[in-house]
Copies of this chain bind each other. A is one copy, B any other.
């Protein structure tokens, strides 16, 4: 499947003189607001500009030539290109989250309780509610966490459950369904041996399994192999998508909506997309920048979540290229920071 390549935005030659920048900004702001092409007179009317529409026009042709603006057709206004949005995001916008939303985030993290998964899920709902965009929260894999406890539980003589607890607090179960009947006693003994064998190892470390040919040893061998087989599949990557109905609010064509939803369904794809962008140190990928065709009209904002400095996931927001970058970026940033703090040492209160 088409490999996603993130193009680093070229910083070279990307500087516009003050007036062009002002005009570009006006166009972007207006177009984000109205979704319509914006004309020269609208820009000229913009408060912080004191020239006629004719002047604006000539600047606009320059901006168009340089690739910041585009015209849907002659005699329409201009709309920003991906490059135009990029410049806007990099140079022209700023500001922090509104006080109301600040408060909302604060209250959320003050009151949120429960397991990591629940917190992540609710966080994704929060983000999507705050921004009215679809949100993606990715919890990192526990591939490098160490095993705190392994337990083999007897369901019946042919069904056993391998329950593994990791140092990051995650719990994973696997079914063992041997063809032979194992006695509860054998299962218990196998469980004991597994503990001795695996505790404090990570899934990456290979261990010496017993080579005896009895039921206990068989169970142990099978359990270990199941557990270690997990690794390549990057088991444990958790994805929570919030507000997928927002997709239908924010894009207009039913077909576009369908495509975006189809992408979101492929959770693995979303994870790697978010990861790609994170790897590039980008916080927002606009339109073609993420190189993923079906999302050509989307922008994706990503902010990393870290626990004590260690990368532990990410939060993202998916919207149209004409999304409200300022608010959305602020929201992603604040939430990711709060989330990091929450996991770092939050729940040390009674």
Contact = CB atoms under 8 A, between A and B. Distances in A.
Interface of A: 114-115, 148-149, 151, 153-155, 158-159, 161, 163, 165, 167, 169, 171, 173-175, 177-179, 243-245, 247-249, 252, 254-255, 257-259, 261-262, 264-265, 347-350
Stoichiometry, copies per complex = 2
A148 B158 contact: no
Contacts of A247: 261
Nearest to A167: B155
A259 B249 CA distance: 10
A262 B261 CA distance: 13
Most buried by B among A159, A255, A261: A261
A350 B248 CA distance: 47
Contacts of A252: 254
A174 B258 CA distance: 37
A257 B259 CA distance: 13
A146 to B, nearest CB: 11
A102 B177 CA distance: 27
Given A248-B257, A254-B252, A261-B244, A169 B165 contact: no
Q: Summarize A's interface: helix, strand, loop or mixed.
A: mixed
A169 B155 CA distance: 7
Given A252-B254, A261-B248, A115 B175 contact: yes
A274 to B, nearest CB: 19
B115 A174 contact: yes
Contacts of A348: 158, 177
B173 A171 contact: yes
25 contacts: A115-B174, A115-B175, A148-B154, A148-B155, A151-B151, A151-B163, A155-B169, A158-B348, A163-B163, A163-B165, A163-B171, A165-B173, A169-B175, A171-B173, A179-B349, A244-B261, A244-B264, A244-B265, A245-B264, A248-B254, A248-B257, A248-B261, A252-B254, A254-B257, A261-B261
Nearest to A260: B245
A161 B171 CA distance: 9
Contacts of A254: 248, 252, 254, 257
B245 A265 contact: yes
A163 B175 CA distance: 16
Given A149-B153, A163-B171, A350 B179 contact: yes
